[in-house]
Amino acid sequence: MSNSPSRRTFLKSAGFATSALGLAGASLAQEKGQPPKDASGKAIAGFEKTQTDPNASKSWQPFSDRKIRVGIAGYGLCAFGAHFGFQNHPNVEVVAVTDLISERRAGLAKACGCEKTYPSCEEMIKDDSIEAVFIATDAPSHARLAVAALEHGKHVASAVPAVHGSLEDADRLFETVQKTGRKYMMFETSYFHADLHAWHQEYQAGLHGKLVYSEGEYFHYFGAPLGGYNPKTKQVDTNGWRKGLPPQYYPTHSNAYYIGVTGGSFTEVSCMGNPSAVPHLQAKNNDYKNPFGSEIALFRTSEGGMSRMAVCWDMPSAHGEQGRIYGQKNGTGKVEVSRPPLPPGVGAGGHGGSHGYLMSEFVDAVLRDRKPRVDVAQALNMTVAGIVAHQSALKDGELLKIPQYKL
């Protein structure tokens, strides 16, 4: 296991930041300078801003004066639409925003310094002046909106997960990206955690060899259901999409601790689920018919190793996103492990200081016409592995093959 200074610094400063599954009304709280809170009233870790390295922009070199015209959809996931900093990038102009709820839509427009708004993402993507969109809407809509935007000729950045429990949607998204030739990137925050980024650089340089074993954990206690958009009521309520969510439907924060390090995939899985004592995580009380509050998956990796990936909603003593890697080599050697420079005015942001790096990576990939760091294949390999893991848990740990995506 690598124990680089960057990992120790990250663990100390970020406190194992947790994920984007925040309160539906968190955008309003953050607009007032307050952190979002969970159902128990406690502030959710991970939404605090990580202090940006004062030298983060020192080596950034502009190479284009072109501004990408961007539209942003969604201000509910703890103000995610504005918190990746598109509006601060020197090569971006945020020209339109949207949210289904008018108050949020106005808040997003204010946060992004944008006057033009649309009542829905479906309407916004018809705007031919928009080159790229950031989809930060409710998870069940990510794949549908991404496909629609790609078909309208837009580049797409999406919040996690890439798809919501559907293997058919995964195939459709993959095929659409290939057909349209547009850029697609999923904003998985773990990729730009300082430790994971360092391990990726070391792995690419051959310092770890093949990974024999890796593990990742995403622990986020949901003692009561949090608000989420409910398509039945067209409102945000506690019967929305988050209620009873199968843990492995939201697997990317943990799965990144293998796929984000190596660029590989998981080929098969045996997953065990633990029946939950939390009422909304019982099958009779949620629309998913999901009985599990915790799901622990053992994966076979594409290089022949093993990964244990855990997603848990019902352990009040555990929280955070973290992981470990163990290779055939000890990881020693000299390689640059610092995260890439940020453009002037772009902060690192929340979730371990990952937000600004993800946004900057997407913009750079569009401008340079190159493959982004978290491309559609890696996004789906992370997400689909969790969907199949949940199927395995429902079958008492039966070993199942996982579809593979490769560009």
Sheet strands side by side (includes 184-186): 117-118, 92-98, 68-73, 132-135, 155-158, 184-186
Q: List the structure tokens of 385.
A: 């592995």
CA distances from 315 to 62, 319, 320, 397 (A): 46, 8, 11, 21
C-beta neighbour count of 402 within 10 angstroms: 23
Residue 351: what pLDDT? 86
What one-character-per-residue DSSP string does 290-349 give? --EEEEEEEEEETTS-EEEEEEESS-TT--EEEEEEEESS---S----SPPPPPTT---B
- The residues with which 270 forms a beta bridge, in sequence order, are 298
The region of weakest confidence among 23-32, 125-134, 170-179, 191-200 is 23-32
Residue 54: what pLDDT? 80
% of the chain exceeding 70 in pLDDT:
87
CATH number of the structural domain 193-330+376-401 = 3.30.360.10
The pTM is what?
0.91
Residue 350: what pLDDT? 86
Q: Is the pLDDT of residue 186 over 50?
A: yes
Helices (H), 57-166: 80-83, 102-112, 121-124, 142-151
C-beta neighbour count of 56 within 10 angstroms: 21
The region of weakest confidence among 40-44, 131-135, 218-222, 358-362 is 40-44
Residue 34: what pLDDT? 57
Q: What is the pLDDT of residues 44-76, one digit of tens each?
A: 655 655 677 887 888 899 989 999 999 999 998
Q: List the structure tokens of 8.
A: 């120790």
In the structure, what pLDDT confidence band is assigned to residue 16 with cuts at 50, 70 and 90? very low
Residue 18: what pLDDT? 36
Q: Which residue has the higher pLDDT, 77 or 176?
A: 176
Asked whether 388 and 269 are in contact (CB, 8 A), the reply is: yes
User: Which of the 8 DSSP states describes residue 45?
Assistant: T
**Alpha-carbon distance 386 to 169, whole Å?**
14
Tokens 């996931």 appear where?
77
C-beta neighbour count of 156 within 10 angstroms: 28
Average pLDDT for the chain = 90
Q: What is the pLDDT of residues 214-247, one digit of tens each?
A: 999 999 999 998 888 888 888 888 899 999 999 9
**Alpha-carbon distance 202 to 102, whole Å?**
46
The dihedrals phi and psi of 399, each to the nearest 5 degrees, come to -75, 125
CA distances from 269 to 247, 297, 372 (A): 15, 7, 27
The region of weakest confidence among 121-130, 146-155, 230-239, 358-367 is 230-239
Residue 12: what pLDDT? 35
Helices (H), 181-279: 194-204, 252-262
Asked whether 181 and 384 are in contact (CB, 8 A), the reply is: no
Tokens 């991404």 appear where?
146
Element (H, E) at 10: helix 5-14
Q: What is the pLDDT of residues 136-165, one digit of tens each?
A: 999 999 999 999 999 999 999 999 999 999
Residue 402: what pLDDT? 98
% of the chain exceeding 90 in pLDDT:
77
In the structure, what pLDDT confidence band is assigned to residue 250 with cuts at 50, 70 and 90? very high
The domain segmentation of the chain, as residue ranges, is: 193-330+376-401
Which residues of 30-81 form beta strands (DSSP E)?
A: 68-73
SS3 call for 64: coil
Residue 27: what pLDDT? 45
Q: Is the pLDDT of residue 26 over 90?
A: no
DSSP-derived pairing of the beta strands 211-219 and 320-327: antiparallel
Residue 388: what pLDDT? 99
Q: Is the pLDDT of residue 323 over 60?
A: yes
Residue 232: what pLDDT? 84
